[in-house]
Amino acid sequence: MFKRISIVEAKALIDQQEANVADIRDPQSFNNGHIPKSVHLTNDNIEHFVQSSEKEKPLIVVCYHGNSSQPAAQYLAEQGFADVYSMDGGFEAWKLQFDFTQ
């Protein structure tokens, strides 16, 4: 089961290097800006991501507004990730709150 996390809580986990970030937005949106060190997760690379990722480390799933990330987070939790979060507000809220993106 996944949990929901605020952008402030998510940033704290990321800043402490205690969480991985999976961004499920489309490639153009991801290329236009994303949370630093996030992985762009697509249908093409999700199987590799599931097999090669550290499943004990917290995982934050990000979409546009925090809606699409919820079923994706649930799926990843079902794949064995121990601590999965859907970020409330998504990347749109993140970029309004914080100035830095890559």
37 CB-near residues (< 8 Å, 6+ apart):
14, 21
Say if residue 102's pLDDT is above 80. Answer: no
Residue of 95, 101, 25, 21 lying closest to 61 (CA atoms)? 21
DSSP character for 3? Answer: E
Confidence of residue 100 (pLDDT cuts 50, 70, 90): low
Burial 39-60 (b: 16+ CB within 10 A, else e): bbbeeeebeebeeebeeeebbb
Q: pLDDT tens across 43-71, in order?
A: 999 999 999 999 999 999 999 999 999 99
Whole-prediction pTM value? 0.94
Mean pLDDT across 20-38: 96
Confidence of residue 98 (pLDDT cuts 50, 70, 90): confident
Give the torsion through C-alpha atoms of 74, 78, 79, 81, to 10 deg. Answer: 70
Angle between helices 7-15 and 90-97 (to 10 degrees): 70
Catalytic residue among 19, 60, 63, 72: 63
| Candidate CATH numbers 2.40.50.100, 3.40.50.300, 3.40.250.10, 2.60.120.20; the one for domain 3-97 | 3.40.250.10
Mean pLDDT across 25-37: 95
24 is catalytic: no
Percent of the chain with pLDDT over 70: 96
